[in-house]
Amino acid sequence: MSRMTVFLQDLAATVGPPFFKMLMVTLRWRLIGLYKDRKVHLRYGPVIWAFWHNAQAFVGHVGRNRGARVLISIHHDGEYVARLMMGMGYDPVRGSSTRGGAPALLELASTETTQDFAITPDGPRGPRGHVHPGIIMLAQATGRPIMPIGATATPCIRLHGWDRFIVPYPFATVGGVIGDPIFVPHDADADERETCRTHLEEVLEDLTRRAEEACRRSPAGTTRHLGSPFHRHGFG
């Protein structure tokens, strides 16, 4: 690894989090279903947060500084993301649901019971909006509920990568929707796991549509100007 690469990685870890936070605190948050995360944590303990790869900026911000374990690609670009996430208080695990996935899933499955997991089930290389089976196997092995989250922003820039990563403009509106928990039976067979996988895929698509709708309207009491709007509700 070159000195320049190491320098850039260190720079991402040092400068990235405060710059990212400065952008996030300018946003207007329109949030639906916040109570569900707290309710599920109180009843079942740690969970597996699931959200599309292109929306990870929003969930990454509101769930920061909790020590959650986040699955980061083993691709060399993933090192920059891992350093950034560490600077935001996350505990990165290198791997994915497609490349290097088995060791990473085993490490997650052996995690102490106080840490949540954060997974983008269509990462690290897509296809966009397709749930890979790793998250389903992890939920089955650990017994943890999957908490699906849909999020988007307007106005925003959508990058040209496979996931069309969402970068909000300063002072943009963010719509975020938390869905109901999804449980994978411990004795689920291959057909049942596939049913859970397709169900999660459909739920995430629906939550994303609802998040887009939330950006277009402003119901009373749901718009907040907060650095981490989930803190008072148990999500962060």
**In terms of pLDDT, which residue wins out, 103 or 137?**
137
Whether the CB-CB separation of 69 and 93 falls below 8 Å is answered with yes
Q: Is the pLDDT of residue 100 over 70?
A: no
In our burial notation (b when 16+ CB lie closer than 10 A, e otherwise), range 148-185 reads: bbbbbbbebeeeeeebebbebeeebbbbbbbbebbebe
DSSP 62-131: HTTTS--EEEE-SSTTHHHHHHHHHHTT-EEEE--SSSSHHHHHHHHHTS-TT--EEE-TTTTT--TT--
User: What do you get for the CA distance between the two ends of the chain, in Å?
Assistant: 35
pLDDT tens column, 168-217? 999 999 999 999 999 999 999 999 999 999 999 999 999 999 999 999 88
Query: Whats the size of the chain, residue-wise?
Result: 236
Q: Give the model's confidence band at 110: pLDDT under 50 very low, under 70 low, under 90 confident, else very high.
A: confident
Residue 25 CA, distance from chain mean position: 18
Residue 232 has pLDDT above 60, yes or no: no
- Rounded average pLDDT over 58-70: 83
Question: Reduced to 3 states, what is the DSSP secondary structure of residue 45?
Answer: coil
Decide if 175 contacts 215 (C-beta within 8 A): yes
What's the whole-number average pLDDT of the chain?
83
Across the range 107-135, mean pLDDT stands at 87
Q: What is the pLDDT of residues 144-161, one digit of tens each?
A: 999 999 999 999 999 988
Q: What domains are there in the chain, each with its CATH number?
A: 3-219 (3.40.1130.10)
